[in-house]
Amino acid sequence: MLDTMFSEDDVIFKKELNSLLDKLLPINWDHYPDETDDFHWELSKKIKLSLSINNWIAPSWPKEYGGGGKEVTKAIILSETMAYRMSPGNDRFATRMIGPTILKYGTSLQKKKILSEITSGKVQWCQGYSEPNSGSDLASITTKGDYNEETETITINGTKIWTTLANRANRMFILVRSLPGSKRHQGLTFVVLDMNNKGITVNPIKNIAGKFSFNEVVLKDVKISSENIIGKLHEGWKIALDLLNFERSGIDYIGWAERCLDDLISYSKKNRLNKYEMIFDSGTFKKSVAILKADLESAKIMTYKAIWKKSVSDDIHMEPSMSKILATEINNKVHDYALEILKDKIGFIDEDPQNNFVQRILNHRLFFVSGGILAGTNEIQKNIIAQRGLGLPK
Amino acid sequence: MNFNINETQSMLISSAKEVLSNKYDLKLINKRIDTKSNYLPGWKELQEQGFMGMLAKESIGGYGLSFHEFSLIMEVWGTYLCSGPIIENSIAGVLTLQKYNESKFSDILKKIIRNQYVITTPLSNQFYKKGNIPEIKKIKNKMYISGSLSKVPFFELSTHIIFIAKQNNNPKIIILPTNKINIEKVIFDLLGNKLVNIYIENNNISDDNFIGNDNNTHEIIDFMMNHMIISKCSEMIGASEAVLNKTIDYIKNREQFGRSLASFQSIQHKISEIFTLISETKELSRYLSKKINSNQKKYSSLVKIKCNESLNKIIWDAHQLHGAIGFTWDYGLHLYTRKILMNKSVLGDTEFHSKILLS
């Protein structure tokens, strides 16, 4: 319904992207992209390379860095469509977090090196923010980044946790405490590093969906040169927060939610509620789905707004927080309703779970527990809205 | 893609706020419910400022505003709990007559703009509650119309009424002067606004009373309904923003346990939820107000469902945040609650619009 927001050129881009995905994804592909799975990972690499050939990995970045040089609407379409198609190969850590951050804060050398590498489709990034016991309190970081003025190097020691795809990634952006004895958001430095550096150990952690999507990353005497500092030494906090605003649009959740709702409607047209009527013909079903659709469209417009606003202004406080909450919550609501409709079919482990709608919805719902937690919990987002947005006291 | 409001639109909103903000009085609205007075905050003020011609083309003396801009003013209208046939007059009147029969109704259009004529319509009640359709009969080359219409808003203020009738079971849209129509019954809505049931008895009509032709009646009805729905939603959104502001003021100033209520995290979370719900609803409604026409029933249904469900939630949360003071008659929070509750079923409830959305 919000397609009318896009130009004719955008619509053509979406068609071409879908055609490319038709060619690259296996027929009837409906698996959540799980790049820890070997098949998904190989597919992800293949898709990234194909996107790269078309300059589509980062369609709105400048052409000089391998971007498409197009409007931000192309980036919205790319993320939403790939999520809807459940396609692997959309490295959000690269294109929606570190990339825009480098564009804003990086030196010309960093831009050339890091952005061009991302758009080549040959790297996978991960995010080194969370630490054991730090929970939602990002400023409580203890991982040390000791700076040596003589050698102009930083030596990193500490542990990061809940690091999605660290077991696949070859690059990481990380926040470290570089000023000994500093407190909270003072004395932090934002750096990027090569995961092939000596001293990095990745320990996968099994999640509730039975997958190894996130990890513990232990960094022991990892040495990197000062060329890898983004912005200034000891002044990484602002950059780290700004990156989160890039991260928090929630656009993927919109794509996943819409796919789930569309698939649920298809299911309801093929399956009976009772011997007299199809699920779809029930008034209660229609009403529930219509309410979900209305919530989904309004959440979608908020994610568009957050991305658009970030692309035109730095004066942005609440939009990413609101869109992150709305997108993750509607995705959960849609999956919850699907589970309610599937009722008694839930509760059994299917022999071939990848080919089963019921198992897919269940696995996804389990996986999407993470949505309300990652990138700053939804409760933290509500604090941001209340305090930074509405001016309520801290 | 652009989510900004332009400078002209900002000025328009400011000017509507200036006109309307000093004119409403919660005590008088409370009194209207108690005494059935004719207090209509905002109505005369907008008339005097020439707002009846908002949607009319400049060539016939109007402002030439877009429907999107009109919907922005409707938000302000809702914020100040204004009353009067603004939607009926502007949509069923100006917008529809101008689009479908401008030359035929040019005199009526000019008189609406000059505040000499006022239009009302019971379209909502006719469309969503089937029945209540007067019948046109031809007797010796003359046409007569008879039948009942219920819940007509602001009838006594109006000079003309626009409604659906039928002729040989085909729907027709009729405009009729109100002076020869009898009031059968008076009822009051939740906010004390007067509505009437009327009976039209063998009123002689001619081709001059027909809006549209045999081929476009359904299109015109959809056109009117879609625009009226979005307008009503904008009004609801405006009312909900007033609720938000009232609640923020209250929690900032109210102290409990030696500190401001606004400093408690549970309160902050609740107000963030209210703010987020209103923001998304407003963004959706504003965007679709730019796209609405006669053939986008799904757009208006989507917005109405969103408003019905989300804004209903925020009013109860606002009451909870206000505590006992919000439970009192004099404080006036209940007026917004009544407005939102009332509008939930006006122009179609969620169940009705669900069927359209999933059709």
Q: What is the mean pLDDT of chain B?
A: 94
**d(C-alpha A299, C-alpha A179), whole Å:** 41
User: Does the CB of B3 have a partner CB in chain A at under 8 Å?
Assistant: yes
B265 touching chain A per CB within 8 A: yes
pLDDT of residue A242: 87
The answer to whether residues B120 and B155 touch, using CB atoms and an 8 Å cutoff, is yes
Are residues B32 and B143 located together in one domain of the fold?
A: no
The per-residue pLDDT for A351 is: 58
Residue span(s) of chain A under CATH 1.10.540 come to 2-90
The β-bridge partners of B257 are none
Distance set, CA A87 to CA A67, A187, B235 (Å) = 20, 39, 42
Give the angle subtended at the CA of A358 by the CAs of A356 and A360, to the nearest 5°: 70
Mean pLDDT for A42-64 is 96
Q: What is the structure's pLDDT at B25?
A: 87
| Same-domain status, B200 and B232 | no
For residues B312 and B326, membership in a common domain is answered with yes
- Give domain A2-90's CATH number out of 2.30.30, 1.10.540, 1.10.10, 1.20.120: 1.10.540
Amino acid (1-letter code) at residue A370: S
Q: Looking at B211, B239, B271, which one is the last position of a domain?
A: B211
**Region A358-372: what's the mean pLDDT?**
88
Last residue of a domain, one of B181, B211, B241: B211
Any idea which architecture A248-389 has in CATH? Answer: Up-down Bundle (1.20)
Q: pTM (2 decimals)? A: 0.94
Residues of A with CB under 8 A from a CB of B: 1-2, 4-6, 71-73, 265, 280, 283, 286-287, 289-291, 293-295, 297-299, 301-302, 304-305, 308-309, 318, 322, 325-326, 379, 381-383, 385-387, 389-390, 392-394
- Give the pLDDT of residue A26: 94
Q: What is the mean pLDDT of chain A?
A: 92
pLDDT for A355 beyond 60: no
Is B249 at the interface with chain A, CB within 8 A?
Answer: no
pLDDT value at residue A356: 74
Encode pLDDT of A63-104 as tens digits: 999 999 999 999 999 999 999 999 999 999 999 999 999 999
| Closest C-alpha among A98, A93, A107 to residue A44 | A93
Contact predicate A25/A32, CB 8 Å: no
Average pLDDT of B1-9?
Answer: 90
What is the per-residue pLDDT for A376? 87
Work out the average pLDDT over B306-311.
96
Chain A residues whose CB is inside 8 A of the B2 CB are 308
Q: Taking 90 as the threshold, does the pLDDT of residue B327 lie above it?
A: yes
Q: State the CATH number of the domain containing residue B163.
A: 2.40.110.10
Distance CA B227, CA B249 (A): 33
Has residue B129 got a pLDDT over 80? no
Q: Clarify whether residues B186 and B248 are in a common domain.
A: no
Tell me the one-letter amino acid at A125: W
B71 and B107, same structural domain?
yes
Question: Do B235 and B136 have their domain in common?
Answer: no
Note down the domain range covering B100.
7-116
CATH number of domain containing B228: 1.20.140.10
State the smallest CA–CA distance between residue B297 and chain A in angstroms.
Answer: 12
In angstroms, the CA A34 to CA A31 distance is 8
Nearest residue, CB atoms, A382 vs list B1, B248, B272: B272
Number of domains in chain B: 3
Domain with CATH 2.40.110.10 in chain A: 126-236
Same domain, B241 and B351: yes
Q: For position A348, what pLDDT does the model report?
A: 67
Decide if A172 contacts A127 (C-beta within 8 A): yes
What contacts B53, CB < 8 A, 6 or more positions away? Answer: B60, B61, B62, B63, B94, B112, B113
* Record: fold of A126-236: Butyryl-CoA Dehydrogenase, subunit A; domain 2 (2.40.110)
Is residue A387's pLDDT more than 80?
yes
Span(s) in chain A for CATH 1.20.140.10: 248-389
pLDDT of residue A354: 47
- Pairs across A and B, CB distance < 8 A: 118
Instruction: Mark whether B104 and B133 lie in a shared domain.
Output: no
Q: A41 Cβ partners below 8 Å, 6+ apart? A: A35, A88, A168
Out of B211, B234, B265, a domain closes at: B211
Within this chain, do residues B346 and B253 fall inside the same structural domain, yes or no?
Answer: yes
Mean of the pLDDT values across residues B321-327? Answer: 95
Q: Which pairs count as long-range contacts for B307-310, CB under 8 Å and 24+ apart, including other chains?
A: B307/B233, B307/B236, B307/B237, B307/B281, B307/B343, B308/B344, B308/B349, B308/B350, B308/B353, B309/A291, B309/A294, B309/A295, B309/B350, B310/A295, B310/A298, B310/B277, B310/B278, B310/B280, B310/B281
Query: What is the pLDDT averaged over residues B256-277?
Result: 97
pLDDT surpasses 90 at A360: no
Whether the CB of B175 is below 8 Å from some CB of chain A: the reply is no
Instruction: Specify the higher pLDDT residue, A35 or A329.
Output: A329
Query: Which pLDDT value is given to residue B130?
Result: 66
Q: What is the ipTM of this complex?
A: 0.94
Q: What is the pLDDT of residue A352?
A: 55
**Is the same domain home to B95 and B41?**
yes
Does position A1 have pLDDT exceeding 80, yes or no? no
> Chain B closest CA to A289's CA: distance in Å?
8
> Residue B202's pLDDT is what?
93
